[in-house]
A and B are shown apart, each in its own frame.
Chain A
Amino acid sequence: MKTLCALVCIALSASLPVRAQDTAIPLTKGLVYVYSGHNDTVDWENLITITELTAAEVTFGVAWYHEGKLTGRNSRRVRLEDMASARRSNDIFQVGDGSIFPGSTMSNISTLLLQELKDKGSAAVVLGTVPAGDKGGFGLSGRKFYRGEIKRVASEPISVLVNGVKRALPSIHTRGVLEVGGDQINVEDWWFDNPAFPLNLRVTQTNGRQSQIIRIDYPDAKVEAALKTTLASPACRAELHGIYFNTGSAFLLPQSDATVQQVAALLKANAGWKITVEGHTDNIGTAAANLDLSQRRAEAVRAALVSAGVSPSQLSVKGFGLSKPIDSNATLEGRARNRRVELARACAK
């Protein structure tokens, strides 16, 4: 976990108050969540995006990064009836897979199982995963489906950055021993107590798999409204959430699309605003390199906004590098907050 959140470079914190009691997250198109984990010597992150949501199905786009480098992309469809009531989950991808596994969810349990955990304290589950030693699915053994019961051991909050705000998401902590053909696996999970989308916030398995969600971004009218309010206020400044770059790169990842579209809509509706897109970094690396990176990232965001229809004359860019931290650079979380993009509106102060 040495580079926890290594990929998630830009940050994160919109100037919104923490609303601990308001933790429901909808199943909605454009939602992005990021798993971070560590296998053997490799740090990895998975960026998962809801790319389509119909009356019958949800489609997840998955991008895998190892040590900050894109190693693969895929997608999977899940039926909404399975999101509601399936007992099986399967988030392993293999070459030659079909696009859908009817009867299975992907990285969440169904609403039915969440309710059973809350009501009865246990649930019968089927887990598609790879056995110990399979190197995260790259080995020969292939996917196996383990069966058994998971039991609630506690209700615990899990800290996740949600739309840029650090939130303590309520979770149901479960443990279980699952089995297939004499092969057992101990699983420990923290399920997001969110009936609309009970995500697996954190998982530990005896096959060596450990991961947790570190960040969730989703289109939220309240956040958009807050962005408008903040920019319109005398502060004339707001941080952006939902912007994703490759590590050390100014390549804007497609997971940023929802945020870009939201901001573009706001700026087009306020065509009189003159906005400076500001890039900021943490203090890892030289000041010169960070200054250059922050400038290029600001330019990338500006280019994306222009592509989304914002007038080029409305936007300028400036990179500040590591010169304006808003948090401590001594911690992972602090550095994550310092890596950010801000919008500054030209206004009299």
Chain B
Amino acid sequence: MRQLSLIVLAASGLFITACGQKPAEPAAASAPATKAALDGNDPCRLLSAAEAEAVLAAPLAVAPYRSYGGIGDRAGLPLEGSDVCWYEAGNRRNLSVTLTRSNGGSVMKGVGQVTDTVEKNTKAKFQDGTELAGEWDEAKVMNGTSFMALRGDSLVEIDTGGSEATPAQIGSLADAAIKRLEAPLPYDSSLSFKAAEAFYAKRPASGDPCSLLSKADVEAVLGGAVQGEPQANSSGDECIYTYATTRNGLQKAGDQGKIPKGTLSDEEMKMMSEFMGALGGSAAIGDAAPGATATDTLVLNVEWRNGYRLYRVSNQMMGSMGAGLGAEMGAAERKALGSSSALTGPWDHAQLSKVQFSSVRSDVQINLRPATLKPEQYAALMTRAYEKALK
């Protein structure tokens, strides 16, 4: 899932910051003399704190500031001169505004082309036009969480993946931002930069994924002895525990991370294989080894930052995969994928599909595979993991 997520994120997120373009000068240079010192390309001048707070349903922890964009674990990291503005509440719910002052049409076209290719190969749906009318000349919704609005040749992207905003709310934000392209708010985001750095520094630091669950934690919940030491993967976002099991699904050494035998039906496995194959990845079932020791693997995946957005986007991706829809996972898609969100535990949101258990809390996302544990086992493991991640 990790590889799949990254590919889709990359495809769906040819975000403006990725272009590395220094914004051009604004077309309209008619700002009042008293505001001449304000940066006309400051994206924080497009949306007020109050407007963001209304959507985040919480007060901002720090005044809007310029930062890295909405993809990757640097999202929200203060960055002077950036074309991204970050709005984050004390509970880590967040949204961002990205401004591409010129060549926005080119960005819009590029995103459409790349995503269209992915969609054709996967038969899923990650982008859509929008039925909403506004001050924009054209608009596109990506992953159900990112609203791209073009006016003239200027592009404004409102990314609400880190919030629970509805499409209509995103559209209202985009409308407000677009209206200010030629008359930005009298706001200087540089004044909040130091406070933003201090706020950002309070985030959980990235660390060893194996630090979140000890051998004893796993053994206490799963009942079998963990063999050897937990192993972190090379990218440092997963920890693999091999443990004794009585489950009917033995795996050979080297099959860690694969989908355990018996997890998916043949039809479900075919769908998963086609989807992964189209993205250049693979979905393999761990094989039983003749005479193998009765062991299984538990894989913990953690995203220390930007977890709300990752959770929501992967949720949308799973929904698309299950039903070919652009919508986030709804009841029909959950049924198709055997997913459930009716889980009780120490998280803000959680999903249990036939592929994995996924959860998020305070912008940290933690996933577990396999998906065959009991709900109370996930809750027990996540209680320990979040205690350590958020301490």
Contact = CB atoms under 8 A, between A and B. Distances in A.
A100 B109 contact: no
Interface in B97-132: 102-113, 115-116, 127-132
Contacts of A99: 129
Interface stretch (A17-25, A135-143, A259-267): A135-143
A305 interface: no
A233 interface: no
A143 B139 CA distance: 12
The interface size bin for chain B is 20 to 34
Contact of B130 (A94, A98, A181): A98
A-side binding surface: helix, strand, loop or mixed?
loop
Given A94-B112, A95-B113, A180-B152, A141 B105 contact: yes
Nearest to A130: B105
Contacts of B111: 96
B113 A128 contact: no
B113 A98 contact: no
Given A95-B113, A96-B113, A141 B106 contact: yes
Nearest to B130: A98
A312 interface: no
B198 interface: no
A142 B138 CA distance: 12
B137 A142 contact: no
Given A96-B112, A147-B152, A181-B154, A90 B138 contact: yes
A307 B140 CA distance: 41
A289 to B, nearest CB: 39
Given A95-B112, A181-B154, A103 B133 contact: yes
Nearest to B140: A98
Interface string B352-385: 0000000000000000000000000000000000
Given A104-B137, A128-B137, A181-B152, A96 B105 contact: no
Contacts of B132: 102
Interface in A58-111: 88, 90, 94-104
B153 interface: yes
7 contacts: A88-B137, A100-B129, A101-B129, A102-B134, A145-B137, A145-B152, A147-B152
Shortest Cβ-Cβ A-B pairs, 6 listed: A98-B129, A96-B112, A142-B109, A142-B105, A102-B133, A145-B137
Interface of B: 24, 27, 102-113, 115-116, 127-134, 137-138, 140, 150-154
Interface of A: 88, 90, 94-104, 126, 128, 140-147, 180-183
